[in-house]
Amino acid sequence: MTTDNDLASVAKAMVAPGKGILAADESTGTIEKRFKSIGVECTEENRRAYRDMLFTTKGVGDFISGVILYDETLRQKSADGTPFAALLTKIGSLPGIKVDTGAKDMALCPGEKITEGLDGLAKRCDEYVKLGAKFAKWRAVITIGEGTPSDACIVANAHALARYAAICQAAGLVPIVEPEVLMDGGHTIDRCEQVTERTLRETFAALASQRVALEHMVLKPSMVISGKDCAKQAGVQEVAARTLRTLKRTVPAAVPGIAFLSGGQSDELATAHLDAMNKIGGAPWALTFSYGRALQHPSLTSWKGSAANVPVAQRALHHRARMNGLATRGQYRVELEKEPANA
């Protein structure tokens, strides 16, 4: 049986110095789109081979504390027959699992989403624990637009996140709580800051109401950033300062760590923003990463579905993981991008 000490240890390990989380939990539909971009058929074997390439990258465990898996992936094995959960444990990375069933249209709230998956979640969590998972993830999405987000959307998603987190902790899993404020649209960084603060305040109020132990969770927020279609894009230092200000206003110090999502930022920009926050310093929580595309993209485009390309693809992943590992310590420099590490 998992104890409070076990949950606390896992949460701390997830945000360990110099490390972050690899989000490899793309649904079949999402990874099909990514495979299509490189001309690879989205078969179960190709999905397995791609994840196997990522997880067997030599030295990646030095920078990756945990990996979020999809249901299919948690049940798959490496080429040598080792279950992925066991393989990740062997390299020093904790296996995690995406447990929500996706963001769906929210009734009476046009253009807004509510994440589903609470039905049967306790039973699924029990099974995932038996399969080796140590933590879980649930993503809520908040859209900024004309008249959105609504209070109804923010409150409903906060409540669902809190219910999920409580169910996970009861099952012995550390929950990653992910309230993502999407960067889609032309909104300013001012508007993003306002919505992010409102979302986080509601999320932590809901977590408290559901008796979630803050010491046994990890927050995965979006950064405070200009909408991608905004004419004026905030610079790296402004994004870092505003993000930290918003988090200090809303996130209790009991939370062991904050693992940012990249949310559509370019690979290097996501790294630069994280680094700038850690260079500012003074945060009561560890500031790290939980990137998906921003870690995988160079590796995916190098791989192209060919076994012959595995070495170069693994070097690309190792390099991005190392750059972000440095960013967690405030030691990243753009010049290092020209010196890829050997995997």
User: Which amino acid is it at 138?
Assistant: W
Phi-psi map region of 304: left, alpha, beta (phi>0 left; psi -120 to 50 alpha): left
Q: What's the CA angle centered on 317, arms 64 and 168, to 5 degrees?
A: 35
Please say whether the dihedral angle defined by the alpha carbons of residues 29, 33, 35 and 39, taken in this order, is positive or negative.
Answer: positive
DSSP category for residue 284: S
Q: How many residues does the chain have?
A: 343
Cis peptide before 149 (omega within 30 of 0): yes
Token pair of 181, please?
């404020």
Contacts of 128 (CB under 8 A, 6+ apart): 74, 97, 99, 136, 171, 173
Q: If we measure between CA atoms, which residue out of 129, 113, 110, 132 comes closest to residue 121?
A: 129
Contacts of 134 (CB under 8 A, 6+ apart): 10, 66, 94, 95, 96, 173, 174
Catalytic residues: 178, 220
Q: If we measure between CA atoms, which residue out of 63, 73, 120, 123 comes closest to residue 96?
A: 73
Cβ atoms of 131 and 137 within 8 Å: the answer is no
